[in-house]
Amino acid sequence: MVFVAKSFDAPAKIIFPLSFDPWKQGILGLGDIVVPGIFVGLCIRFDYHQDQVKNKRAPERDVDIQRPFPKPYYHNVLIAYILGLITTGVVMQVFNAAQPALLYLVPFTVFTALGTAYSRGELKDMMDYTEGEEEDKKKKEEQKKK
C-alpha cells in the first residue's frame, strides 16, 4: 500500500515533511480527506435538518448560509477528524511505520457522531435520517393524486 502511494504520480495525495530530512515525508491520500469530508458534510446537513425540525420550519431545498444555526455534530466530528489525524501521526512516529489514516479517522469520526447523538437524545433521529426524505414525500403525494 505504501509502495502504491509513493509510486502513484498524480494529484491524489498530499506529501508533507515529517522532519527536515528530505527523505522523511508523510503522505495523506485523497481518500483520507474525501471520505471523512463527506461524512463531516453529512453531519452539517444533519445539524441543519435538526434545526429545521426543532424550529418547525418548512424544509428548504437549499441551505440559507446567511442564517446561523447550531452545529454540534459538525464541530464535534471536525475536532474528532483532527484528533484522528494527530493520532495517526503519533502512531506513525512511535512505530516508525506507515499507518493507514482511515484506520483511525473512521472510528474517531463515527463514534464521535454517535456519542453526540446519544448524549443529545437524537440517536434514533440520526439513524432514521435520509437526505431525500422531503422529495420522497412530495413524490408519494403526487402519486396519490394521480
pLDDT value, residue 144: 72
User: pLDDT tens digit string along 108-133?
Assistant: 999 999 999 999 999 999 999 988 76
Between 25 and 41, whose confidence is greater? 41
Could you write out the three-class secondary structure of the chain? CHHHHHHCCCCCEEEEECCCCCCCEEEEEHHHHHHHHHHHHHHHHHHHHHHHHHCCCCCCCCCCCCCCCCCHHHHHHHHHHHHHHHHHHHHHHHHCCCCCCHHHHHHHHHHHHHHHHHHCCCHHHHHHCCCCHHHHHHHHHHHHHC
Give the per-residue pLDDT at 22: 61
Tell me what pLDDT residue 121 has: 96
46 versus 140: the higher-pLDDT residue is 46
CA geometry: angle 70, 40, 35, nearest 5 deg: 175
Task: Using CB atoms within 10 Å of the CB of residue 73, give its burial: 0 to 12 exposed, 13 to 18 middle, 19+ buried.
Answer: buried
Whether the pLDDT of residue 21 is over 70: the answer is no
| Residue closest to 40 by CA, chosen among 2, 72, 86 | 72
For residue range 33-51, list pLDDT tens digits in order. Answer: 999 999 999 999 999 889 9
Q: State pLDDT tens for residues 49-61.
A: 899 889 877 666 6
The predicted structure's pLDDT at residue 20: 72
Dihedral (C-alpha) 42, 46, 47, 50: value to the nearest 10 degrees? 170
Please compute the mean of the pLDDT values over residues 102-109 and round it to a whole number.
Answer: 96
And the C-alpha cell for 76? 464535534
Q: What is the pTM of this model?
A: 0.77
Measure the CA–CA gap between 81 and 78, rounded to whole angstroms.
Answer: 5
